[in-house]
Amino acid sequence: KIVNTKDASADLKKVLQAERVALQKLRGHRHIVQLDACFSILSSEKTIFTMEYVSGGDLREYVNLSGHL
């Protein structure tokens, strides 16, 4: 997951930080995609989350297509 933080609001930056912390706390949970690393590239103003690969698309796509969980 790559997020452009060049023009990001303070709220978005807080959300990214909270997501990183939450994924770190849930490390090892069998139903949560695992966070491998999270880092910022200052020269391009991007935050990068490297995560476990899970085939089949993402949850948002599934809910949009099926209408429910």
Distance of CA 7 to the CA centre of its chain: 18
The answer to whether the beta carbons of residues 19 and 32 sit under 8 Å apart is: no
Residues 4-48: tens digit of each pLDDT? 998 889 899 899 999 999 999 999 999 888 999 999 888 889 999
The answer to whether the beta carbons of residues 5 and 40 sit under 8 Å apart is: yes
H helices present in the chain, as ranges:
10-25, 59-66
Alpha carbon distance 44, 29 (integer Å): 32
Q: pTM, whole model, 2 decimals?
A: 0.70
